[in-house]
Amino acid sequence: MDQELITDLFRQMLRIRRFEEEAARLYTERKIGGFLHLYIGQEAVAVGALSVLEKTDEVITAYRCHGHYLLRGGNARAGMSELLGKETGCAKGRGGSMHFYDVKNHFHGGWGIVGAQLPVAAGMALAKKYQGTKDVTLCFLGDGAVNIGSFHEGLSLAAVWKLPVIYIIENNQYAMGTPLEKTAPTEDLSIRAMGYPMASDIADGHDVFDVRAKVHTAVRRAREQSLPTLLEVKTYRYRGHSMADPGKYRTKEMLEKEKEKDPIKALGAKLDSLRLNQLREQIEQEIEEEIRDAVEFAEQAPFPAPETVMDYIYAE
Amino acid sequence: MSTREIPIRDALQEAMSEEMRRDERVFLVGEEVGAYNGAYKCSRGMLDEFGSKRVIDAPIAENGFTGAGIGAAMMGLRPIVEFMTFNFSLVAIDQIINTAAKARLMSAGQLECPIVFRGAGGAAYQLGAQHANSFEHYYAYTPGLIVICPSTPYDMKGLLKSAIRNDNPVVFFESELTYSLKGPVPEEEYLIPIGKADIKRAGSDVTLLTWSKNVFLALQTAEKIQKEDGISVEVIDLRTLRPLDKETIFQSVAKTNRVVILQEMHQVASYGAYLGHLIASEMFDHLDAPVELISSLETPMPYSKALEELILPSEDKIRESVQRALQ
């Protein structure tokens, strides 16, 4: 396997994790307010999926969005600043943890109403097709989104209008604190694609290469045939739904067992087995430095000025 | 300028077609907008002229096609989303309020959302409770949205064209009862600026503020009151609820010192209640009487004609309010 690719995927996953571990620390120090939904444990999903995109492809997700933002070219300083509500944030402190944006890099947020991004993604794909491009749209959602109306309306439009959009269910097994078996009478959510209908697949979210391969197939289908896909990625989050959630709906043993499948540990071990320990350590150090710098930058950055309180409401 | 008399549905169709000829990015999506020519025939001939790429029939899935319109707007297109009636926009209101209105703020201006949501609002004849809602204020309440409620064919066309060219999400209310109503519309192109009220009838004794189809009820009643009671009513058509043209309202109030607000929505937490507060607080020294507010009765709309007439604003109610304001 391509060493450069393994190294790169490892770097990206670790970067997200370290960013969020620091965010969790800052949250407990009350420097971050509101909600903080961490992606820790799920990194292989976004990393694998986004690694097959072209730069002009579009990405949209729900409120667990830090990872997707960082991958889409998002700057760690601007991300950390956003969490701290600073003017230097990727949404100038107006968005917060749930609403990261980097539109010039084709990352469109960061949305807080479960499932609402599915129809929006259909429209993004419609627009790119309308404009005559071959770009595809990737829309991420959680397993908690599969029962709300906008999920079905989004998929329905994507299928009937033949839109180049890939819906990726990040099935982390819990809709907030409710386990999947209580909300859906099926183990595999991908079967819901049948009714629209559209192509579907299942990927192992602990295996970044499996995610990559399955998304690659879906992206080709979208780019070449202008057809949608519903891809379910089985994953697991190690933290609570948000920082406010102690996760009492699962046992410590269950969590520890899941952590054995940690995709970052697995890829780190792979690098070691390829005798790339030194490179791995170097990457770890570089990421430490980037995140330390981002935190320092964000802490020192200014808050939005009072006279800007009414900015960004209307276009002139 | 040469003008001709055309009905509102044609004025709307002309506005959309002209803007679509002018700008490739503009497209129309909604239920029945294509082959059916629109549930109220507002998009007659548009499928033939522009094709199914730009006149898109949608399944009955308002949240879906509203969200899709918003997504397309965020990517640089300029969609017009038609609601068969605004009653059905309630299942899409999350997309309008939580996505369209907030995209710009939440992204600190990185996302633009140039989109128009248009369709019929308010009561018509005996549509029953679920199809007779007046709730312009649900949208007018929301920062980030522009809300337009025109009355005449002239205003409908000029304001819809401005709405399509505007870079913000615009909610545009029409009325089932007036789609066939005719009025003069110039042959030549024109635009009407958003946020400007229009004095539809000049008067000196009392200011009557209203919007949408109630402008016609107001004008008709004002004529009768003039003739029968010798009272001169100034009728102001607000045309835009957000942003509100305070200047035109305040100038009129400074002149007449008496105000009647006429709305079709219920009174509690309504737009008229806001207007009343605004005038009472900012024009207090000019007022010679309490601000009158005519609203629908506080009940869902029953079917029977006998009851519907009791609930909606009427000539008699306007006359009573005008007389109270003049006491």
Amino acid B1: pLDDT:
73
Q: Which residues of A touch B141 (CB under 8 A)?
A: none
* Disruptive mutation site among A153, A156, A157 for chain B (greatest number of B CBs within 10 Å): A153
B277 HSE (CA, 13 A, CB side): 8
Q: Is residue A308 part of a domain?
A: no
Q: Are B15 and B79 in contact (CB under 8 A)?
A: no
Q: What is the C-alpha to C-alpha distance for residues B327 and B324, in angstroms, rounded to an integer?
A: 5
The pair of structure tokens assigned to B188 is 């030549």
Q: What is the pTM of this model?
A: 0.97
> Concatenated DSSP letters for A277-315?
HHHHHHHHHHHHHHHHHHHHHHHHSPPPPGGGTTTTSS-
Q: Which residues of A touch B98 (CB under 8 A)?
A: 112-113, 116
Q: Is residue A309 part of a domain?
A: no
CB contact under 8 A, B58 and A157: yes
Any idea what DSSP says for residue B96? Answer: I
In this predicted structure, the answer to whether residue A316 has a pLDDT above a threshold of 90 is no
Amino acid B125: pLDDT:
87
Tell me which of B19, B31, B62, B174 is the catalytic residue: B62
Any idea what DSSP says for residue B32? Answer: T
Angle in degrees, 0-180, between the axes of helices A208-225 and A3-28, rounded to the nearest 10: 110
Q: What is the C-alpha to C-alpha distance for residues A109 and A185, in angstroms, rounded to an integer?
A: 30
Q: Is residue A305 part of a domain?
A: no
SS3 A55: coil
For residue A110, cis peptide bond before it (omega within 30 degrees of 0): yes
Q: For residue B7, what are the β-bridge partners?
A: B182
Amino acid A155: pLDDT:
98
Q: Are A211 and A45 in contact (CB under 8 A)?
A: yes
pLDDT digits (tens, 9 = 90+) for A265-314: 999 999 999 999 999 999 999 999 999 999 999 999 999 999 999 999 99
In this predicted structure, the answer to whether residue A1 has a pLDDT above a threshold of 80 is no
Q: Which residues of A touch B108 (CB under 8 A)?
A: 89, 91-95, 101, 311-312
> Concatenated DSSP letters for A59-74?
EEE-S--HHHHHHTT-
In this predicted structure, the answer to whether residue A179 has a pLDDT above a threshold of 80 is yes
| Cβ-Cβ contacts under 8 Å for A224 (sequence gap 6 or more) | none
Q: Which residues of B touch A119 (CB under 8 A)?
A: 63-68, 70-71, 95
Q: Are B210 and B238 in contact (CB under 8 A)?
A: yes
Length of chain A in residues, anyone? 316
Percent of chain A surpassing pLDDT 90: 94
Amino acid B191: pLDDT:
98
Q: Is residue A307 part of a domain?
A: no
State how far residue B40 is from chain A, nearest Cα, in angstroms: 24
Region(s) of chain B under CATH 3.40.50.920: 198-326
Low-confidence ranges of chain B (pLDDT < 70): none
| Cβ-Cβ contacts under 8 Å for A47 (sequence gap 6 or more) | A9, A12, A13, A16, A67, A71, A208, A211
State how far residue B116 is from chain A, nearest Cα, in angstroms: 14
Q: For residue A165, what are the β-bridge partners?
A: A137
Q: Are A80 and A50 in contact (CB under 8 A)?
A: no
Q: What is the C-alpha to C-alpha distance for residues A105 and B300, in angstroms, rounded to an integer?
A: 49
Cβ–Cβ contact A58 with B under 8 A: yes
* Residue A181: other Cβ atoms inside 10 A: 10
Give the position of tokens 């969590």: A255
Amino acid A42: pLDDT:
97
Q: Which residues of B touch A104 (CB under 8 A)?
A: 110
- φ and ψ at residue B8, rounded to 5 degrees: -60, -40
SS3 A213: helix
Q: What is the C-alpha to C-alpha distance for residues B126 and B87, in angstroms, rounded to an integer?
A: 14
Q: Is residue A293 part of a domain?
A: yes
Give the structural domain span for A76.
3-300
pLDDT digits (tens, 9 = 90+) for A26-54: 999 999 999 999 999 999 999 999 999 99
Q: Chain A window 105-124: which residues touch B at a Cβ cutoff of 8 Å? A: 108-113, 116-124
Q: Which residues of A touch B63 (CB under 8 A)?
A: 116, 119, 149-150, 153
Which of B75, B98, B105 is closest, CB to CB, to A116?
A: B98
CB contact under 8 A, B94 and A149: no
Cβ–Cβ contact A153 with B under 8 A: yes
Q: Is residue A166 part of a domain?
A: yes
Three-state SS string across B98-126, please?
Answer: HHHHHHHHHCCCCCCCCEEEEEECCCCCC
Helix H or strand E segment including B223:
helix B214-229
CATH T-level fold of B198-326:
Rossmann fold (3.40.50)
Chain B residues near any Cβ of chain A (below 8 Å): 27, 53, 56, 58-59, 61, 63-77, 79, 91, 94-95, 98-99, 104-112, 114, 143-144, 146, 166-168
Which of B53, B61, B105 is closest, CB to CB, to A312?
A: B105
Active site residue B131: yes
* Disruptive mutation site among B31, B75, B96 for chain A (greatest number of A CBs within 10 Å): B75
Tell me which of B18, B32, B112, B131 is the catalytic residue: B131
Sort strands A178-179 and A174-175 into parallel, antiparallel or unpaired. Answer: antiparallel
Q: Is residue A313 part of a domain?
A: no
Active site residue B189: no
CB contact under 8 A, B74 and A108: yes
SS3 A168: strand
CB contact under 8 A, A312 and B108: yes
CB contact under 8 A, B98 and A113: yes
CB contact under 8 A, A126 and B64: no
Length of chain B in residues, anyone? 327
User: For chain A, what is the domain count?
Assistant: 1
Q: What is the C-alpha to C-alpha distance for residues A163 and A228, in angstroms, rounded to an integer?
A: 6
Segments of A74-123 assigned E as strands: 107-110
CATH T-level fold of B3-186:
Rossmann fold (3.40.50)
Any idea what DSSP says for residue B285? Answer: G
In this predicted structure, the answer to whether residue A150 has a pLDDT above a threshold of 90 is yes
Any idea what DSSP says for residue A102? Answer: B
Q: Which residues of A touch B111 (CB under 8 A)?
A: 101, 103, 108-109
Q: Is residue A72 part of a domain?
A: yes
Report the CATH number at residue A279: 3.40.50.970
Q: What is the C-alpha to C-alpha distance for residues B107 and B105, in angstroms, rounded to an integer?
A: 5
The pair of structure tokens assigned to B199 is 């004095």
SS3 A88: coil
Which of A92, A95, A130 is closest, CB to CB, to B53?
A: A130
